[in-house]
Structure 1
Amino acid sequence: MSELLRAAVAVALLAGVAPRADAVFTYAPTSSAAYGITLQVGSAVAIDEVVFNATGTNAGLATGTAIAGSQPITIRVSPARPARLLVENRPVTLTATVPVGLTCTTAPTCSATVIPFNQISWVSTNATNPAEGDIQSGTFVGGSTQTLASFDGATATVLLVNGDTRFMSNTLNFRYANTTVYPAGSYSGTVRFTATML
């Protein structure tokens, strides 16, 4: 089958004092009900928020000591497909569409200042070998769509009788680099995660 299966959710990664973020649970079926893919970013029942609080000893100082995000975010990709007699390749890819930077949301204090998105990185706490399809630790590339993980949604058996398939689940702990002094204020930006299966 050649249909493109797609699900997309967004989580905002923010630097500053009063940011907000979004995370939802999305399932995308194809024209064949037996195929589908589920992408979950953060909680399936609430809006998650990742905050980098540059206050106190972190305020106005570019110490180079990373500021941890307020909470980890778990990203799960679960393909679904029917039972088949022979192995069927089903490439699965997870990408992140990243804006150029985090923009000021409190104009009186930070005006049109933009913090480059490459100031945000993450540590994947339960990643296996990248060849197995997990998200590895890394840094966002601002103004790009970057591939975070890819794997084959099929199992490695010759006989597949129950439709089982490989899935991916990684928990990311985000960090703000804190290497440059920016005007005080709140900054926000949204990264859109997209999972596809061919």
Structure 2
Amino acid sequence: MRTPTGSPHALHLRMAFVFLSLAAASSQAGAVVTITGGYFGPRTLTLRVGSTAGVDTVQFNVVGPGTGNSLPAAAPIQGNGTAIAASSGGVAFRMSMQLPIGSLSQAMTTTVTSPAALTCTGGNCTGYSIPFSSISWTVSPAPSGPNAAFDLQNGTFAGGGTQTLLNFVVTFGGGSAVDVTSTMNFTYANTVAYPAGTYTGTVTYTASLP
């Protein structure tokens, strides 16, 4: 399966985000991870991935040697292994939780659930799919400082299951607020050249408190 020089064939990968938001958003944090005490308000938990409304789409455009020749019978071949950044840019990530004075220690967990693969939804790629594990992310700014362990870390979608992104226990009995703010920058591994077409999939982010 080979793409001739100058071929217009392209591979489009689209990954939509569904996010769960609980309670009202708090004020914008000025650092990657901010932990403060003395909180008197109600218990709240807010998760934002992408824009404040709707479902965001992360898109990768793969052209030239990175795609197949669009023949339905052609099998995927070796890709060039050069990772391709999302053409849609970075995605905002923010988890904010607030526990009032007198609260017991509580564990917050943020997870992401992804299907096993992105499936063909257009073009001559019928019957083909791309493993979700072909998509990774880095976070910016990079985790640093005394609270770096609580920050969102770089990772790769497991594909076909749920994986934990954040998991920590808040133990401040005097009331506390924790804010984790990052930008997720996604890349496609491009290790296999799939038939040209559009492949789509949706991931769901969830934050929870007991």
Q: TM-score range by the shorter chain?
A: 0.7 to 0.9
Q: Which residue of 2 aligns with 1:182?
A: 194
SS at match of 1:132: helix
Cα root mean square deviation, aligned: 2.7
Residue 189 of structure 2 aligns to which amino acid in structure 1? A
Partner of residue 135, structure 1: 152
Which structure 2 segments of 5+ residues have no match? 1-9, 25-40, 69-77
> 1:173: how far off?
0.4
Query: Aligned residue pairs: how many?
Result: 173
Cα distance in structure 1, aligned partners of 2:151 and 2:13: 31
Residue matched to 1:54: 62
- Residues 79-117 of structure 1 show CA distances to partners (whole Å, capped at 9, x for unaligned) of 122222xx73111111111100000001x5100211001
TM-superposed CA distance for 1:28, in Å, is: 4.4
CA distance in 1, matches of 2:148, 2:86: 28
After TM superposition, where is structure 1 displaced by more than 6 Å over at least 4 residues in a row? none
Which of residues 22, 26, 39 in structure 2 aligns to 1:27?
Answer: 22
1:63 aligns to what SS in structure 2? coil
What is the CA deviation profile of residues 130-173 of structure 1, one whole-angstrom value per residue up to 9, with x for unaligned ones? 87321211111111111111122344xx6x2xx43112122110
In the superposition, relative to structure 1, how do residues 121 and 94 fare at CA in structure 2: closer, same or farther (>3 Å)?
same
- 2:128 paired with 1:113: yes
Give secondary structure in 2 for the equivalent of 1:105: strand
TM-score (norm 1): 0.76
- What displacement does 1:194 show? 0.7
Q: Give the stretch that moved more between structures: 71-80 or 183-192.
A: 71-80
Is the contact made by 1:25 and 1:43 (CA closer than 8 Å) also made in structure 2? no
1:187 and 1:177 map into 2 onto residues whose CA distance is 15
| 1:123 corresponds to 2:135 | no
Q: Secondary structure at the match of 1:141?
A: coil
Aligned partner of 2:51 in structure 1 is: 43
1:101 maps to which residue?
A: 117
| Deviation (angstroms), 1:20 | 6.4
| Deviation for aligned residue 1:46 | 5.3
Moved more, 17-26 or 87-96: 17-26
Larger strand percent: 2
Deviation at 1:48, TM superposition (A): 2.6
Unaligned runs of 5+ residues in structure 1 are: 1-14
CA distance in 1, matches of 2:47, 2:135: 22
Q: What's the counterpart of residue 98 of structure 2?
A: 80
Q: Which has the larger radius of gyration?
A: 2
